[in-house]
Structure 1
Amino acid sequence: MTTSPTISPTIAVIGAGLDRVDAPLKVTGKAHYPNDFGYAGMAHAALVRSIIAAGRIRAIDTSQAQAAPGVLTVITHLNAPRLDRGPMTLLGPSPPAPLQDDRILHYGQHVAIVVATTAEQARHAASLVRVEYESTEALLDVDDPRAEVLTDPWSLDSERGDVAAGFAAADVVVEGTYTTPDNTNNPLGLMATIAAWNGDSLTVHDSTQWPHNVRASLAAIFKIPESGIRVLAPYVGGGFGAGLRMWPHVILTVLAAREVGRTVKLVLTRPEMFTSVGHRPNSVQHIKIGASRAGDLIAIEHHGTSTVAMEDDDYEPVSLCSAVSYACPNVRTRDRQVRLNIPCPGSMRAPAEGQGNFALESAIDELAHALGMDPLEFRLRNYAGEHPLFGLPWSSNALQECYRRGAERFGWSQRTPEPGSMRDGRWLVGYGLAGASYPSYQVPCQARASVHRDGSAFVRSAATDIGTGTYTVMTQLAAELLGLDTSRVRFDLGDSDMPYSPQAGGSGLTGALGNAVHAACWRLVREFLDLVRDDMDSPLREAKLDDVTVSEGRIHRTGAPELGESYTDILARHGLEELSADGRSTPPRSEELGMAIAGAFGAKFVEVRIDPDLGLLRVTRVVSAIDGGRILNEKTATSQIIGGTVGGIGQALFEDTATDQGTGRIANATFGDYLVPVNADVPDMDVIFVGEPDRATPVGTKGVGEVGLVGVAAAIGNAVYHATGRRMRSLPITIDQLL
C-alpha cells in the first residue's frame, strides 16, 4: 500500500459533479478513436472465418483472392510464420496465436487475413478465398459427456464449517438450478487495430482497455523489445471487458503490416465481434441454502459450471460470491469448466459476479419467502459484519446502510408481502430487491506529474478511458492535490510510452491510478519544497509537507496564507521550465492492515409491471444504493451505475447469444437480432451513494464500474415472483415464462 503525508488543499473539487473534460472533443468529433486514424499509403485488411465449428482445413485456395484488384497478400496457416502464444497476464494466459495449424476449434475462427489497397478490395478478395474443410462433430452442449471437464483451475473453490451437518440442522431448505446464457459485450464502437512498422519499431493503434498488455504481448510474440513498441488508445468506443485481452486479430494486423511493409488497418465487423473478442460464458448453477426458523443462515452450497474454449484458460468462478456475501457458518463453493468448440470467452461487465449473484440472490429471496420473512429483513439479519473467509473486519462496508437508505427511497415499506397482491389496473405489480457486491481489485500503477513555468500541470499515465470518466476524475484529483483550478490541469492517458498502468477493468483502475496520481502529486509538492529548503528568499524555507497547504497555484504554510509562494515564482527563481515527479501505488494487503480489503457494495430495488394476459414485462423503477467508497465525481459515478443497471436489464430480459447446436454458428450476431435495452426499456433510475472513504488506500475509492450491473437480474426476477408467484431460474426472462 502507498502511504503519503497529507497535503492540505483548499480547492475542493473532489466529489463535485464536474462535466467530463473530454466531452467537448467527443461531441464535436475531435476525439480520435483507433478507427479514426489513417496514414498515407495505408493498406486495409479483412478476415476469412471458418464456417465449421470443429475439424480441419483440407485445402485452402487463395489464387482468386491473390489475383483480385488491389490485393497485396493473403496469409493463411500455410504461409504464416510460427508464433508463440502470448505471455501470462494479470488476467490469466493470453488467447492462442492465430494461423498456426490447420485445426478448426470454433465457428468463426480466423483462417486467413487478406490485405489490399482499400477496405472494399480486401473484403471482396476475402470472399474469394476457397476453403475445403474436413468436419468433425463439434462439442457444443455443456452437458455433453464427451467434453473435457476442468475442476477449480485457479484453486478458488472454498469450504468452511460442516455443510452436511448444517443442512441436517436447518429448519428450512431451498434448492434449485439457475442458468444464464452466453452474453456478448457489444460496445458501440467496432474494435479496430492499425499497425505501422518502422524498421524494428512498431506503432499500434488499438481498441484496447490495457495498452501495456498489448505492448508486452506483441513484444513476446514478435520477439522485439517492449521499448520498440508504442500502443496508442487515447479514446476507446466502449469495451465492457472486450478490450481486456489481446485478441488474435491484433496479432494478425501486426503480422500483415510486417509482411507487406505498409501500415495496415483492420476494423472488425459486427458479426466478427461476436467470435473475435470474447463473451460472457454461460453458466449452470445448483444452489442449496438452509436456515433456522428464526431466519439465521446455517448452510450454503453453490456449484457452478461454465464453458470455456478448447485451448483457452479464461476462468470465471461464479459460485465464489456465495462464500463471502453472508454470515453463514457452513459454506461450500465449487466451480468447474467444460471445454467446448466455442470462441474464447472473456470478461464482460461484472464477470462471475453477474452470473453468480443471480443464483445466490434469487435463492436467498426464495428462502426468505419460505420462512415467511421480509426479504429485506432476512438480508439484514444475515449481514456479514466481518469477512466470512478471512475473519477480519472490513476496511469499509456500508451494505446495511445501502439496504436501509435504498428501501426508504424506494418505498419498500409499501410492499404487501403476498405474491400477486399488488395491482395497478390490469397490471400486476411486483417489488424485488437484491444485495450486490464486487470484490476489491487493485494492482500496481504509476503516474507522473509536472508543473510548468506558466503554472499549469500535466499529469499522465498509460491508462485508458472507455467512457467511465477517467480523464475527468484524475483531472479533479490532481487539481485538488496541487491546489489548482481544473482548467489549469491536463491529464493524459492511452499511450504505452507513459508510466505503467493496469487495465481499465475489474473496477480497479480508479483506485490504482488514483493512488498513483496521489503519490505523484505529493512528491511533486515535496520536490518544490526541496528546491526552497535552503532558499533564504523563500517563506517556505525548511518547510515540510505536513506544514503546508496548496491553493490557487501556491504553496503556503498552513494557517498563514501570506507565508508562501507560487509554483511559477519558485520555478522562475531557480531557472526551471518545469518540475516533475513520479508516483506509484501498490495494492493494500489485508495481513499488513489487519482488515479485509473491501470492494463495492450495493442494494438494488426494482419495481416491475406485468400484463398477465400478454406476458408483457416492464421494469418501471430502479433504485440503486451504492457504497463505492470515496466518490471522486458524483456525476460520472452516477452515470456508471445507470449504465451498469441498463446492462443488468439487458442480462435479465434481453441478451442471449444464440448458438446453433447443429453447426456452432452464432445465429444472432447483429444488432438487428441480438437484443439490448433501448430507451423505451430503461425506466426512471435513482442512484444514491452511501458510506465513507475506504480506509485501505490514500484516496479511499472502491470502484463502481461493475457493481452497477450486479444484482439487477436477481432483483428483477424477485420482483417477477412477487408480482406473479412464479420463480425465474433462467435468463433472460421471456414472455413464454410469464404466460
Structure 2
Amino acid sequence: MTTLEAARAVGPGLDRVDAPMKTTGRAPYPNDFSLPGMVHACLVHSTIAAGRVRAIDTTAAETAPGVLAVITHLTAPQLERGPMTLLGPSPPAPLQGDRILHYGQHLAVVVAASPEQARHAAGLVRVDYEPAEPLLDLHDPRAAVVTNPWGLDSDRGDIAAGFAAADVVVGGSYTTPDNTNNPLGLMSTVAAWNGDSLTVHDSTQWPHNVRTTLAAVFKIPESNVRVLAPYVGGGFGAGLRVWPHVILTVLAAREVGKPVKLVLTRPEMFTAVGHRPYSAQQIRIGATRTGELTAIEHEGVSPVAMDDDDYEPVSACSAVSYACPNVRTRDRQVRLNIPCPGSMRAPAEGQGNFALESAIDELAHELGIDPLELRLRNYAEEHPLLGLPWSSKALRECYLQGAERFGWSRRDPRPGSMRDGRWLIGYGLAGVSYPHYQVPCQARASLHRDGSADVRSAATDIGTGTYTIITQLSAELLGLDVSRVHFDLGDSDMPYAPQAGGSGLTGALAGAVHAACRRLVQEFLDVVRDDPDSPLRGAALDDVAVSQGRIHRIGNPDQGESYTDILTRHGLEELSADGRSTPPQPDAAGMATAGAFGAKFVEVRVDPDLGLLRVTRVVSAIDGGRILNEKTATSQIVGGTVGGIGQAMFEETATDAGTGRIANATFGDYLVPVNADVPDMEVIFVGGPDRATPVGTKGVGEIGLVGVAAAVANAVHHATGRRIRSLPITIDQLML
C-alpha cells in the first residue's frame, strides 16, 4: 500500500526526532517537573536484612524544620498489593507490617518543604530492631526452594541415552553475579491528587501498568489515574515494575494534600528498583567425534526475594539454540533476604548464554573443530521444541558474514599462539538469540486539514528510538514527509501500549500503527466512496497507494487527490482511526515466531604478567528482521554490546555476606565500562523482514548484550588457554 516515494521514510539512518529537545535541555524528564505547592519526600531504610521493627521513634523527625509528615507502618493505611501483570506479580506493598525482608527496605517516608529538609529529618528517625539471622547464601540448606514456578523447564528425547551415545562430554559450573540496573536518570516520581483524581509523572517503562497498579492499590477507578512519562532517563528494565517508592510518593501526596516529588539516590537504586540476580549453573554437553550434539543438560539456580516471584529461567536458551535430539533444562530459585530482583537488559538470556556458549566453545576445543564450524554443524533449521519452521532466521548468515567481516579465518586455533609483543591475542565468538515477545497494543492516527498527521500511543521511549522509528513508519504508511508527522507517547490517557522491554515494543507498536494508518486511509476512501467529484470514488483499500500527501490508484498516480482536498471539500477538519495489534499465533500460522538472532565476534588482548584484559574489536552480525532505522538500530546494538562488556569484565554488585548490605552502591565503586574500555565496534544487519508480523520487525534491544560475555571468555581462552567460568573476568583469573 506504499509507493517508493513513501517507503524512503523507513530504513535510512534518520536522526532522532527527539534529539533537539534532549540536546537543548527542553525534554521534560520526571524529575524536572515542579508543580505549584510541591513538597519533597525522602525514604528511611532498614539497616538489617531480616527481623522485625520493635519500635520506631519519629518524634525528632516530626518536629524538624519544614516537615509535614512522617509515615511508617504504624500510621500507613492498609494498601492492596498491586495486580498480576504480564511480567508477573507486583512487588509487595510498602509499610504494611513490622517484618523486615531485606537490607534497605523502606521503613518510613518523610515529607518536607525541601529535599534537604526531608533528608535531614529522615536521618532523625530512630529504629529499634529485633534482628534475625538473614538467609543470604544461595546454598543455605535452610532457604526455601522454588522449582519451575512458571512451567518453563523442558525435556526433549532421552537425556541418559544421549550422553551414553556421546564420544565426548564437556561441562562445568558457571556463575554470574548480581548486576544492578544503572540508568543515567535517577528513578523519580511526582504525584499530585485533585480530589479522587491522581496525576503521576514517573520514570516508568510502562505507563499503563503504573495506572492499573495505582488504581488497584488506592482503590480508585483507572480512569481517575493519569501517568505521564514522555521522556525517561534510561531504564534497562528498572522501570518495568511499580516499585514501592512510587506507591509511597502517591501515599505521601494524599496524606499531606500537596504534590510530592521523590527522587531516589544512586545508592537507593541498588536496593529499590530491582537487579539482575546471581546465577549458578551446571551444564553438560555430549557430542560425537564428528561434532554432532547428542545431549545438552543445563540447570540453573538463582535467588529470589522472600515475598516476591520474579523469575528468570536462565537455562531456557539451551532448549532452543541447537538441533540436539536430547535436551533437559531445569531452573529453580532460592528465597533469600535480598531486595527484589527484576529484569535487566537481556534477562535470563544474558546469564544462560554465557554458560551455553562457553561450553560449546570448550566442546569445539576438545574435538579439535573450529568453534564456528561446530555451531554450523548443529544449526537448528526448525524450532527444536515445536518442530515448526521459523518465521525468519538468518543466524547462518550472521555467522558467515560476521566471520568474514571480523577475519575469523586468520585465527590460529592453538591457545596462546597469537601475539603482538607482550600481548596475547585471542579471538572468540558466540551465537546468540533472544526469544520472540509480543503482546497486544493500540494506537490512534489522525490526519488534519493542513496535511499533517498525529499518531499516539501510551508507549515510552527509554532512549531506544521509538519516537523516531514510529514517526518514520507512520510517514511511510500515510505517504507523508517525515516532517509532517508527529508521534506522541508516554501518557496513559493515550491508547494502550505494553512495556518498553523484552524487545517486544517495536513489533507490538508498529503493528498497531500499521493497522491505524491503514484504517485511516480507509476512512478517507469511505468519505469519497460516493463522491462524484473524486477520482477515488468507489476505490478499495487494495486498489490505492499513498505518496506525497495523496491517495492515488495503483499504477495511475494522476488518478488521485490529497488528504487536504478531501477534508476541505467535505468540510472536515480531520479524520482519525484506531488500530490494534495482536500477537501472532504460531500454531495457526504453521510457523514458530522468531526473535532476533546474531553472532558476536570479539578480539581481546591479555597481558600475562599483569593480568590486564582489553577488548580491542567487536563485530556484531544481527538478524533483527526489518530494520526501520539503521542508525538507531546500530545504536541499540552498540549500547547493548557495551553492557555486555560490563557484564563480562566489570559489573558485580557486592553484598556483604554477614549483613546483606550492598557494599559498592555508588558509581565510584560499582564499575561500568567507560570510553577507554569500549573498542572499535562494527554492526552489520543481515536477513530480511519477519513474516509473522505485518511490519516485519524483530526487537533488537536485548540481542546486543547477549553473547558478549561468552565471546569475551572464549577469546580469553584462545589467548591464554584458561577457561573462565565466573563473571566478571578479573585480574586474578588472568595472572599467568
Give the TM-score normalised by structure 2: 0.99
1:358-406, Cα deviation, whole Å (9 max, x unpaired): 0000000000100000000000110000000000000000000000000
Within a 5 Å distance, the mapping from 1:573-652 to structure 2 comes to 573-652=569-648
Aligned equivalents of 1:724, 1:39: Cα separation in 2: 59
Give the structure 2 partner of residue 302 of structure 1: 298
Aligned equivalents of 1:627, 1:148: Cα separation in 2: 41
- The AA in structure 1 aligned to 2:448 is H
Within a 5 Å distance, the mapping from 1:455-470 to structure 2 comes to 455-470=451-466
Within a 5 Å distance, the mapping from 1:401-412 to structure 2 comes to 401-412=397-408
Aligned-residue offset at 1:540: 0.3
Within a 5 Å distance, the mapping from 1:501-512 to structure 2 comes to 501-512=497-508
Equivalent pairs counted in the alignment come to 734
Within a 5 Å distance, the mapping from 1:152-163 to structure 2 comes to 152-163=148-159
Give the structure 1 partner of residue 172 of structure 2: 176
Aligned equivalents of 1:528, 1:7: Cα separation in 2: 16
Question: Is it true that 1:47 corresponds to 2:43 in the alignment?
Answer: yes
Question: Is it true that 1:119 corresponds to 2:108 in the alignment?
Answer: no
- The AA in structure 1 aligned to 2:417 is S
Within a 5 Å distance, the mapping from 1:212-227 to structure 2 comes to 212-227=208-223
Aligned equivalents of 1:401, 1:84: Cα separation in 2: 51
Aligned partner (choices 39, 56, 59) of residue 55 of structure 2: 59
CA contact (8 A) 1:9 1:481 kept: no
- The AA in structure 1 aligned to 2:550 is R
Aligned-residue offset at 1:549: 1.2
- The AA in structure 1 aligned to 2:74 is L
- The AA in structure 2 aligned to 1:252 is L
DSSP 3-state at the match of 1:40: coil
Aligned-residue offset at 1:175: 1.3
Aligned-residue offset at 1:7: 4.4
- The AA in structure 2 aligned to 1:90 is L
CA contact (8 A) 2:14 2:629 kept: yes
Aligned equivalents of 2:9, 2:698: Cα separation in 1: 19
CA contact (8 A) 2:51 2:132 kept: yes
Give the structure 2 partner of residue 191 of structure 1: 187
DSSP 3-state at the match of 1:736: helix
Aligned equivalents of 1:503, 1:196: Cα separation in 2: 23
Aligned partner (choices 160, 184, 198) of residue 164 of structure 1: 160
Aligned partner (choices 484, 490, 493) of residue 489 of structure 2: 493
1:26-60, Cα deviation, whole Å (9 max, x unpaired): 00000000000011110100000000000000110
Give the structure 2 partner of residue 208 of structure 1: 204
CA contact (8 A) 1:22 1:471 kept: yes
CA contact (8 A) 2:524 2:566 kept: yes
Aligned equivalents of 1:197, 1:576: Cα separation in 2: 38
DSSP 3-state at the match of 1:730: coil
DSSP 3-state at the match of 1:363: helix
DSSP 3-state at the match of 1:597: coil
Give the structure 1 partner of residue 366 of structure 2: 370
Question: Is it true that 1:324 corresponds to 2:311 in the alignment?
Answer: no
Provide runs of 4+ in structure 1 moved above 4 Å: none
Aligned partner (choices 681, 685, 710) of residue 681 of structure 2: 685
1:511-560, Cα deviation, whole Å (9 max, x unpaired): 00000000000000000000000000000000111111101101111111
Aligned equivalents of 1:483, 1:175: Cα separation in 2: 55
Question: Is it true that 1:10 corresponds to 2:10 in the alignment?
Answer: no
Aligned equivalents of 2:698, 2:640: Cα separation in 1: 16
Within a 5 Å distance, the mapping from 1:476-487 to structure 2 comes to 476-487=472-483
CA contact (8 A) 2:2 2:476 kept: no
Aligned equivalents of 1:501, 1:39: Cα separation in 2: 27
Question: Is it true that 1:674 corresponds to 2:670 in the alignment?
Answer: yes
Question: Is it true that 1:345 corresponds to 2:341 in the alignment?
Answer: yes
CA contact (8 A) 1:8 1:548 kept: no
Aligned equivalents of 1:173, 1:622: Cα separation in 2: 30
DSSP 3-state at the match of 1:570: helix
Aligned-residue offset at 1:509: 0.2
Within a 5 Å distance, the mapping from 1:58-457 to structure 2 comes to 58-457=54-453
Give the structure 1 partner of residue 29 of structure 2: 33
- The AA in structure 2 aligned to 1:530 is D
Aligned equivalents of 1:347, 1:9: Cα separation in 2: 40
CA contact (8 A) 2:2 2:547 kept: no
Aligned equivalents of 1:488, 1:9: Cα separation in 2: 18
CA contact (8 A) 1:58 1:132 kept: yes
Aligned partner (choices 683, 696, 703) of residue 700 of structure 1: 696
1:179-210, Cα deviation, whole Å (9 max, x unpaired): 00000010000000000000000000000000
Question: Is it true that 1:655 corresponds to 2:651 in the alignment?
Answer: yes
- The AA in structure 2 aligned to 1:351 is P
Aligned equivalents of 2:490, 2:647: Cα separation in 1: 30
Which piece of structure 1 moves more, 579-588 or 8-17?
A: 8-17
Aligned equivalents of 2:722, 2:140: Cα separation in 1: 30
Give the structure 2 partner of residue 3 of structure 1: none
Aligned-residue offset at 1:163: 0.3
Aligned equivalents of 2:506, 2:52: Cα separation in 1: 45
- The AA in structure 2 aligned to 1:77 is H
DSSP 3-state at the match of 2:446: strand
DSSP 3-state at the match of 2:315: helix
Percent identity over the alignment? 82
- The AA in structure 2 aligned to 1:10 is E
DSSP 3-state at the match of 2:180: coil
Aligned equivalents of 1:323, 1:611: Cα separation in 2: 37
Aligned-residue offset at 1:178: 0.1
Aligned equivalents of 2:93, 2:26: Cα separation in 1: 35
CA contact (8 A) 1:9 1:550 kept: no
CA contact (8 A) 2:50 2:133 kept: yes
Aligned equivalents of 2:570, 2:267: Cα separation in 1: 60
- The AA in structure 1 aligned to 2:69 is T
DSSP 3-state at the match of 2:560: strand
CA contact (8 A) 1:278 1:343 kept: yes
Question: Is it true that 1:551 corresponds to 2:547 in the alignment?
Answer: yes
Aligned-residue offset at 1:10: 2.8
Aligned-residue offset at 1:84: 1.0
Aligned-residue offset at 1:9: 5.8
DSSP 3-state at the match of 1:521: helix
- The AA in structure 2 aligned to 1:371 is L
Aligned equivalents of 1:531, 1:8: Cα separation in 2: 22
Aligned equivalents of 2:137, 2:369: Cα separation in 1: 39
DSSP 3-state at the match of 1:717: helix
1:410-447, Cα deviation, whole Å (9 max, x unpaired): 00000000000000010000000000000000000000
Give the structure 1 partner of residue 520 of structure 2: 524
DSSP 3-state at the match of 1:610: strand
Give the structure 1 partner of residue 661 of structure 2: 665
Aligned equivalents of 1:414, 1:630: Cα separation in 2: 32
1:642-674, Cα deviation, whole Å (9 max, x unpaired): 000000000000000000001100000000000
Aligned equivalents of 1:136, 1:8: Cα separation in 2: 69
Give the TM-score normalised by structure 1: 0.99
Give the structure 1 partner of residue 718 of structure 2: 722
Give the structure 1 partner of residue 733 of structure 2: 737
Aligned-residue offset at 1:13: 1.2
CA contact (8 A) 1:10 1:549 kept: no
Give the structure 1 partner of residue 532 of structure 2: 536
